[in-house]
Every structure is written in C-alpha cells, then in structure tokens.
Amino acid sequence: MIVRDKFFIDGSWTSPSTATTIDVIDPATEQVTGVVPAGSAQDIDGAVQAANRAYPGWAATDAGVRADFLGAIADGIEARKDEIAALITSEVGTPITFSENVHVGSTITYFRDSEKALRDFNFEEQYNASTLIRKEPVGVVGAITPWNYPLVQVAAKLAPALATGCTVVLKPSEVAPLCIFVLAEIIQEVGLPAGVFNLVTGYGPEAGEPMATHPLVNLLSFTGSTGAGTRVAALGAADVKRVTLELGGKSASVVLPDADLSAAVAATVADCYSNSGQTCCAHTRLVVPRDRLSEVESLAVAAAESFTVGSPTDRSTQIGPVVSEIQLERVRAHISKAIDDGAVLLTGGAGRPDGTEHGYFVRPTVFSGITTSMPIAQEEVFGPVLVILAYDSVQEAIDIANDSSYGLGGAVWSTNHDSAVDVARSIRTGQVSINGSKATPDVPFGGFKKSGIGREGGVYAFEEFLEIKAIY
C-alpha cells in the first residue's frame, strides 16, 4: 500500500485542505494499491498562486539553464525507471515490458527532446528592417492529464511548458496518479525553483474545474475524452483562456489492394491492442479490399488469438487488464451492442478471457460485417476491439476513413510509396503512418475535428505555450 498524503506546492510537500482521499486500484487484482489526497478549489488556488509568483523569475531564466533542468529531470527519471514502471503497471495494468519501454521510455524522450530543441530555439528574430518578433511564455499553465499514459502525457505538456518559461499546475487523473508523485520528488531533487511545478490530485469537478476557471491560469492543456474536453474548453472560454485539447480517436488503417496483407493486418491488430486498446490514436478500424475480406478475417483472427492475456507483471504477457471496472463494463457494453446491431464476431467477445479469475480483463476481439453507421465503427471503445470494414474502390476506402467525427491517427499500407502518400494526404487526420512507420516524440501530434486543438511534440509543442509579440 502506497500512501501519499500531501501535494507538491511551491517547492514543498503541503497538507491538503480536506481529509478526503482517493483509492488507487490495481486493475489486475482489483485491490487497493495506493491512496492519494482529493484536492479542492482551495488547494488549486494555492498551487496557482504559487505558479503565478514563480512565473516572472522562471520566464526570465536563461534558456540554457532551463534546458539543464530538463536534462536533469530526464536523468532523474532514468535513475528510477524500474520503480516508475512498476508503479504504472500497478495502477494502469499495462504489461511491465510496455511500462518500461513506452510509458517510461517515451517520458524520458520527451524531456530530452525538449532540452535539445530549447538549446536551438530562437525566442526573438528580426522580421524586417523595422520589426522584431518576440516569443514569450504564455504564463501559468493548468495541465489536466489522463490515466491511459499517465506519465507520458504529463511529459508531453510539462517539458515544453518548462522549456518555454511557463510555470505549471498539474492535476493528473485520479485513476493513475502514483507515478506522478515520483516525478514531483525528482523535480524537487533537481532543485527546480519553488512554484515552477505544482501537483494537486483530485476529481474533475472539485479540482479540475476550479483550475479551468481560475483567473490566474493563462492556458489550459487537457488530454482526455472529447466530452470532458468540451467542458474544459467551455469553462476556459468564459475567461478567454488559451486552450489546447488532445482528445479521442477512431483511427483507420487503410490497406490498399497492392499491400502486403499479412504485414498490414498483423501490425494493425498489434496497434489496436497496444496498452489494452487504451490509446487515443489506436488503429481500431481496419479498412480492406472487399475481394480480400475473407483472407483478412482469417489473418486478423490468427493475430488476435496469438496475443497472451494475463498478469501485467509477467514478462510474457502482451495484453493486461483495462484500467477499471467502469472501463471494463463500458468495453463489454460496446461489444454486446455491436453483436445486437448485426456485427459478425470473429473472435473474442464480452466474456472473461480464459485463465483470468479476477481483474478487469477483456478478450482480444475482432468484428467484421461492419457498416460505417454502426456505433462500433464510430465510437471510441478504448479496449482491445478491432472492426473490419470492406471497400470496393480506393476512393471508398478514403471516404470510410474520413467518415468519423474524429481525426487523430491513421495508417496506409501499400507497396507503392507514392500511392500511399496520396491516400495519406486525403485522410483528414493529424498523423498518418505508412507501412508501419513509427513517429518519434518530436513529431507534431494532435488531431483534426473532434480529436482536438493544438499539437504536442518537439518545437511544435513550444508554439502552444508561447505568445507572439511584434515590436516595431
């Protein structure tokens, strides 16, 4: 049992204003693994006031010094990577190898990339003979982050915010907050000035909304569901705050007629099931030529049934549980609804996977016989559930990919690079992978349509935390 009973505010560990606590549940065992305090508007106000006091000094700090701090934070995470990975596995349920390589590894990369970008970044440039363009930090950032990538999503906001000279108040998801306390310890150890980073845990209505409406918060950076994101944006709009949103997705993997079918199907299934399907940009729609549908179905079933479901602490496990009982019931409801709607269940289903007696486990599932009007083809499931849609022409494949209110991720598979790029250009989404290529954390990440506003990653993230001033 891990007990955290204080917030990190103004450079020190501070007692909360209330005695209310939040249990953190291990999704593999359904047992309480930790306890954190539930913050209130009073706690948020204290954190925001601290960030506001710290802002002038941090904004004026030399960029090279800020870069040194980012590198030191990365070093601190590296030194405690095994401990952090184990914490993430216990609170999110991801297999330990995934926690080590992705959850922790990508977090370190975000800090290192921001450090590198900062050392080469120009905050002032001469626009013409009479005009100087200056980029200044936006001010106090209120960051609200999700449970599915609890530390990665913090790094994606915190690293560029600190790099650009902003101060930060962070409210992580109450579902998976334990790893963030280790980050706060590291930040304290490296000597980041008091108030530059502040941590308050709590529920959305009691802590998140007071942050969104606080008059001293200049920018809200939110990652989570589209519904929650629209609420945050509405609250921020009342005070004309800048808002960046990284929201949901229903990404399509488009397999062109000349593609390597085996590679495309195997990679799409793996991408869909990564992190137990709890990835906003996961390729959850497999769009394939109709005349190869039966072959695709066989390949998808074989791939799905090859995945090992089990304890996330076992290094042979490929799929752990989903994060909570609420999420488990949500995924099961989507599966049952799809069956009722006439979707063809090829493998998986709503029942408990073999060999699991407890924990929030979901069978790796594949559906075919899907039409774009079905909810399973439109709504974000956030579980290991893949749907297969068939097309008769490449234009129809593009239309299917674009038939979504989301636009976050996507993929195109073809042996002809130019054809793949042409299709990728036609898909209205923030990023498209070709033939399984993987983006690095410095590549811009964000969505079209209801998948969000703004970009994360590298210098593109810097721009979100900067104001533009013209001096002429």
Going from the C-alpha of 456 to that of each of 80, 398, 434, 447, the distances in angstroms are 25, 26, 20, 10
E strand segments, 224-282: 242-246, 251-255
pLDDT digits (tens, 9 = 90+) for 88-100: 999 999 999 999 9
Please give the Cα distance from 13 to 20 (Å, whole number): 17
- Helix %, strand %, coil % for the chain, to 5? 40, 20, 35
Is residue 199 domain-shared with residue 75, that is, in the same domain?
A: yes
Going from the C-alpha of 351 to that of each of 329, 332, 362, 363, the distances in angstroms are 11, 8, 7, 7
**From the candidates 100, 246, 297, 456, which is the catalytic residue?**
246
- Asked if the structure places residue 301 within a domain, the reply is yes
Domain of residue 419 covers 251-440
β-bridge pairing 406-407 and 344-347: unpaired
Please give the Cα distance from 373 to 376 (Å, whole number): 9
Please give the Cα distance from 121 to 405 (Å, whole number): 35
pLDDT digits (tens, 9 = 90+) for 352-367: 999 899 999 999 999 9
% the chain with pLDDT above 90: 99
Is residue 282 domain-shared with residue 212, that is, in the same domain?
A: no
Please give the Cα distance from 410 to 268 (Å, whole number): 10
48: closest CA among 136, 143, 157? 143
pLDDT band at residue 441 under the 50/70/90 scheme: confident
- Annotation marks residue 280 as catalytic: yes
State the average pLDDT over residues 30-49: 98
Is residue 228 domain-shared with residue 272, that is, in the same domain?
A: no
State the average pLDDT over residues 448-472: 96
Q: Which domain CATH number covers 383?
A: 3.40.309.10
**From the candidates 209, 280, 380, 456, which is the catalytic residue?**
280
Is residue 229 domain-shared with residue 369, that is, in the same domain?
A: no
3-state secondary structure of 140: strand
41's tokens: 């508007």
Q: Rounded to the nearest 5 degrees, what angle is found at the Cα of 351, between the Cα atoms of 345 and 354?
A: 105
Going from the C-alpha of 113 to that of each of 147, 193, 271, the distances in angstroms are 23, 21, 24
Is residue 307 domain-shared with residue 242, that is, in the same domain?
A: no
pLDDT band at residue 440 under the 50/70/90 scheme: confident
Mean pLDDT of the chain: 97
What pLDDT, on a 0 to 100 scale, did the predictor assign at position 291? 97
What pLDDT, on a 0 to 100 scale, did the predictor assign at position 60? 98
377's tokens: 């083809």
Is residue 417 domain-shared with residue 307, that is, in the same domain?
A: yes
Length of the chain: 472
- Identity of the amino acid at 104: V
The answer to whether residue 41 scores a pLDDT higher than 90 is yes
State the average pLDDT over residues 165-179: 98
Is residue 330 domain-shared with residue 221, that is, in the same domain?
A: no
Is residue 39 domain-shared with residue 69, that is, in the same domain?
A: yes
What pLDDT, on a 0 to 100 scale, did the predictor assign at position 308? 96
State the average pLDDT over residues 382-397: 98
- Asked if the structure places residue 336 within a domain, the reply is yes
- Asked if the structure places residue 215 within a domain, the reply is yes
- Asked if the structure places residue 205 within a domain, the reply is yes
- Asked if the structure places residue 77 within a domain, the reply is yes
State the average pLDDT over residues 135-144: 98
- Asked if the structure places residue 446 within a domain, the reply is no
The answer to whether residue 408 scores a pLDDT higher than 90 is yes
56's tokens: 């002038």
What pLDDT, on a 0 to 100 scale, did the predictor assign at position 359? 97
pLDDT band at residue 82 under the 50/70/90 scheme: very high
Please give the Cα distance from 67 to 59 (Å, whole number): 13
- Annotation marks residue 464 as catalytic: no
What pLDDT, on a 0 to 100 scale, did the predictor assign at position 290? 98
To the nearest 10 degrees (0 to 180), the angle between helices 81-92 and 63-79 is 70
DSSP 80: T
pTM of the complete model: 0.96
- Asked if the structure places residue 93 within a domain, the reply is yes
DSSP 193: P
Q: Which domain CATH number covers 222?
A: 3.40.605.10
Please give the Cα distance from 244 to 241 (Å, whole number): 10
Is residue 282 domain-shared with residue 325, that is, in the same domain?
A: yes
Please give the radius of gyration of the chain, using alpha carbons only, rounded to the nearest integer: 22
Going from the C-alpha of 389 to that of each of 368, 377, 430, the distances in angstroms are 7, 9, 21
What pLDDT, on a 0 to 100 scale, did the predictor assign at position 118? 97
State the average pLDDT over residues 314-330: 97
Going from the C-alpha of 11 to that of each of 14, 44, 49, 188, 218, the distances in angstroms are 9, 15, 13, 7, 21
What pLDDT, on a 0 to 100 scale, did the predictor assign at position 458? 87
The answer to whether residue 442 scores a pLDDT higher than 90 is no
| Contacts of 326 by beta carbon, 8 Å cutoff, 6+ apart | none
- Identity of the amino acid at 9: I
Going from the C-alpha of 377 to that of each of 164, 371, 385, the distances in angstroms are 40, 7, 11
Structural domain tally of the chain?
A: 2
Please give the Cα distance from 32 to 65 (Å, whole number): 41
Is residue 273 domain-shared with residue 187, that is, in the same domain?
A: no
441's tokens: 């954390």
Please give the Cα distance from 206 to 94 (Å, whole number): 28
Please give the Cα distance from 45 to 158 (Å, whole number): 19
Burial 122-134 (b: 16+ CB within 10 A, else e): eeeeeeeeeeebe
State the average pLDDT over residues 118-124: 96
